[in-house]
Amino acid sequence: MPIRIQNDLPAKEILENENIFVMDEDRAVHQDIRPLKVVILNVMPLKEETELQLLRLLSNSPLQTDVTFLTMKSHVSVNTSASHLNKFYVYFDEIKNHKFDGLIITGAPVEQIEFEEVDYWQELCEIMEWSKTNVTSTFHICWGAQAGLYYHFGLKKKMLDKKLSGIYRHRVMKRREPLVRGFDDEFYAPHSRYTEVSAEDIHNCPDLKVLAESDEAGVFLCMAGDGRQIFVTGHPEYDRYTLDYEYKRDTARNLNPDIPVNYYPDNNPENKPLLLWRSHSMNLYSNWLNYYVYQVTPYEL
């Protein structure tokens, strides 16, 4: 799919070098079609890395998508330059009177903090409430999924005994659901978190449908029955070296992390990690855009 982004977004050159069709603003205005409008609320600390990961996955579709990056006014980012944020991001006040086909809410490294103690929690609640009427489908990732399950359905998170980190095997639970169309019976996906929403709580919520689950990592994929809200507890957007960076960062901080599960060949951090999840991750995003956004969104937003 041609992704429409700002002409000078740093991720643009990297994506083009990967042979991904990126359409700049100049070319997009000459196409007589209505692109899907997707807003990405990026609350990850390394925003440029997350931009690249998500745009790479959103590219796997013939649908043209116009991407807007959203940041929090109530939080000061210390890992991304102010110039980058000022140039490529908007605040919620600037878009709250608009409607969008899709919304992605990323994870954030704040899962060990109570939701109400996160400095931008009230602003996030306002955005999640706004999404009910202004967005066709919202895609929540990792902590974003935990926050969405808590806000919309009252499901609480709980601390794990230790950080869940690695590549875990999952099984598809409801094959007829379009979101997992084309998936194998079992597939791999990355997880990196200290907390979880228990599988029992999710299964017992009558408004939620579980689509994929792992014996080790719990529920991976669930959604509200109509697909307006989709929750992914892992990080399918991670690239090959993201867990490697996190592991070596935590090691340098003397946090004594466990080696990520099923990640390094021979469990040796000196070996190049195997990329085992890319095809299913692309399939997941493509299915979301096609079946839960494009097929149901109104032509006139």
| Residue whose C-alpha is closest to residue 178's, from 279, 105, 106, 285 | 285
Within 135-277, where are the H helices? 143-153, 199-204, 242-252
Set 48, 49, 51, 142: catalytic member = 142
237 in active site: yes
Beta strands in 71-112 (DSSP E): 89-90, 100-105
R_g of the chain computed on alpha carbons: 18
205 in active site: no
Helix or strand (DSSP H, E) at 54: helix 47-58
- 3 state SS of 90: strand
235 in active site: yes
Set 177, 196, 237, 246: catalytic member = 237
The answer to whether residues 186 and 167 touch, using CB atoms and an 8 Å cutoff, is no
- The secondary structure of residue 70, as a DSSP letter, is E
Q: How far apart are the first and last CA of the chain?
A: 20
Quote the tokens at residue 273: 């990690």
| Residue whose C-alpha is closest to residue 103's, from 47, 154, 148 | 148
Set 49, 235, 246, 280: catalytic member = 235
Beta strands in the chain (DSSP E): 3-4, 22-23, 36-41, 65-70, 89-90, 100-105, 135-141, 158-172, 186-196, 208-214, 218-224, 229-232
Give catalytic residue positions. Answer: 142, 235, 237
